[in-house]
């Protein structure tokens, strides 16, 4: 197969509109789960806030990523879809894209960096994707994905810097605000920024008065640094147990955070692991360490959240039970 021109293969990273997020909700409705919102009196008392946890760990594929991947796959023309899709991912997006491709009966190629969580890699394979390994750097991931795109003609579906992916992730906010009306604020984890940007656009499309927060590991705080410096930080090597949040914030994603005044709260790995344990014990559900950053942020800064109704997105539940973060090193 001849190589596809870059202009055709590379999906747009333009920010989605609120209307596009509404379209995404309709597009993914036949395939995605409407995930529950859980409450905990103990966590409310501990935080001094009224917490509404959106459980995307119970989404198809075990993470919110299915929303964006599904929207991207079903937004392709028949001609584009016939060539298949390709992405690079440490786990959840790759699994989501493979599952979404399966709903349309098309091929999926996933570039996985060395050192990715084995449970997530196994899930990608079970979902039917063709795996391709690369070095554990952003540059290596992107280069390998582009190599496969050129060789196969597959359409690149970037994990977060993709209009349709961001629109799909924004549907989380539509559901959450419908399930828990009258929220004062929303908080999501921040990695590459696909979820945070989509949620920001959707949230302010519904209610411009909503306060928006992002929770970021201190060892991967490129978004916080970028906002503080006024320019995107690109020479950054993350060091955090939160494997799902090690990607650098995308250019368009960062622009959305700025435009919607998303306040970034950085949390230590120790705070996040403690929050993960609380979520497991109080909500009785399995969540990844990355999504525990939202509870860690609320507990770290009670003055910003006390007395408010907070929607907190729990992003995934794909955990390697043989390598829990509070057992590492023992």
pLDDT > 90: percent of the chain: 82
For position 5, what pLDDT does the model report?
A: 35
6 vs 103 pLDDT, higher one: 103
Tell me if 303 sits within 8 A of 43, measured CB to CB. no
In the structure encoding, which two tokens stand for residue 319, read together? 């955990």
Exposure class string for 83-95: b at 16+ Cβ within 10 A, else e: bbbbbbbbbbbbb
For position 325, what pLDDT does the model report?
A: 86
* Identical fold between 18-64+162-314 and 66-156: yes
* 258 pLDDT higher than 70: yes
Say which CATH class 66-156 falls into.
alpha beta
Q: How far is it, in rounded angstroms, from Cα 307 to Cα 326?
A: 31
Per-residue pLDDT reduced to its tens digit, 125-162: 999 999 999 998 888 999 999 999 999 999 999 998 89
Q: Sort 304 into a burial class: Cβ within 10 Å, 0-12 / 13-18 / 19+.
A: middle
Closest by alpha carbon to 60, among 68, 52, 72, 51?
68
Per-residue pLDDT reduced to its tens digit, 279-305: 999 999 999 999 999 999 999 999 999
Q: How far is it, in rounded angstroms, from Cα 302 to Cα 4?
A: 51
Q: How far is it, in rounded angstroms, from Cα 188 to Cα 176?
A: 12
Instruction: Give strand pairing partners of 108.
Output: 85
186 — pLDDT class (breaks 50, 70, 90): very high
For position 148, what pLDDT does the model report?
A: 95
* 8 pLDDT higher than 90: no
Can you name the CATH fold of 18-64+162-314?
Answer: Rossmann fold (3.40.50)
In the structure encoding, which two tokens stand for residue 55, read together? 């459980």
pLDDT, averaged across the chain? 92
As a whole number, mean pLDDT of residues 28-40 equals 98
Helix H or strand E encompassing 186: strand 185-189
For position 12, what pLDDT does the model report?
A: 67
Tell me if 224 sits within 8 A of 266, measured CB to CB. yes
**Residue 258 C-alpha from the chain's centroid:** 18
- Per the confidence metrics, is the pTM higher than 0.75? yes
For position 328, what pLDDT does the model report?
A: 59
6 — pLDDT class (breaks 50, 70, 90): very low
Each domain of the chain, given as residue ranges in start order, spans: 18-64+162-314, 66-156
As a whole number, mean pLDDT of residues 258-268 equals 97
As a whole number, mean pLDDT of residues 94-118 equals 93
Q: How far is it, in rounded angstroms, from Cα 153 to Cα 5?
A: 9
12 vs 117 pLDDT, higher one: 117
Tell me if 189 sits within 8 A of 216, measured CB to CB. yes
For position 262, what pLDDT does the model report?
A: 98
For position 39, what pLDDT does the model report?
A: 98
Exposure class string for 205-216: b at 16+ Cβ within 10 A, else e: beeeebbbbbbb
């Amino acid at each position: 197969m001849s190589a596809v021109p870059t202009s055709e293969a590379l999906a747009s990273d333009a920010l989605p509109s609120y209307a596009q997020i509404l379209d995404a909700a309709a597009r993914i409705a036949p395939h995605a789960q409407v995930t529950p919102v859980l409450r905990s009196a103990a966590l409310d008392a501990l935080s001094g806030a009224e917490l509404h946890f959106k459980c995307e760990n119970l989404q198809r594929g075990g993470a919110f990523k299915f929303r964006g991947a599904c929207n991207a796959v079903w937004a392709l023309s028949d001609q584009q879809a016939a060539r298949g899709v390709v992405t690079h991912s440490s786990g959840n997006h790759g699994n989501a894209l493979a599952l979404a491709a399966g709903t349309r009966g098309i091929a999926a190629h996933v570039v996985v960096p060395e050192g990715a969580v084995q449970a997530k890699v196994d899930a990608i394979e079970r979902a039917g994707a063709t795996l391709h390994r690369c070095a554990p750097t952003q540059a290596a991931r992107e280069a390998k994905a582009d190599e496969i795109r050129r060789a196969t003609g597959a359409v690149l579906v970037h994990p977060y810097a993709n209009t349709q992916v961001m629109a799909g992730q924004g549907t989380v906010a539509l559901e959450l605000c419908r399930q828990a009306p009258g929220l004062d604020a929303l908080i999501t984890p921040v990695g590459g920024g696909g979820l945070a940007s989509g949620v920001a656009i959707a949230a302010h499309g519904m209610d411009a008065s909503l306060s928006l927060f992002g929770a970021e590991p201190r060892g991967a705080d490129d978004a916080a640094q970028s906002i503080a410096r006024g320019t995107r930080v690109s020479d950054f090597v993350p060091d955090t147990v939160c494997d799902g949040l090690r990607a650098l914030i995308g250019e368009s994603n960062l622009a959305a955070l700025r435009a919607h005044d998303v306040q970034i709260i950085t949390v230590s790995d120790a705070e996040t692991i403690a929050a993960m344990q609380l979520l497991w014990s109080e909500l009785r559900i399995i969540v990844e360490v990355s999504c525990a950053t939202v509870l860690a942020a609320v507990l770290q800064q009670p003055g910003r959240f006390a007395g408010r109704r907070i929607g907190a997105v729990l992003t995934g539940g794909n955990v390697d039970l043989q390598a829990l973060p509070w057992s590492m090193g023992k």
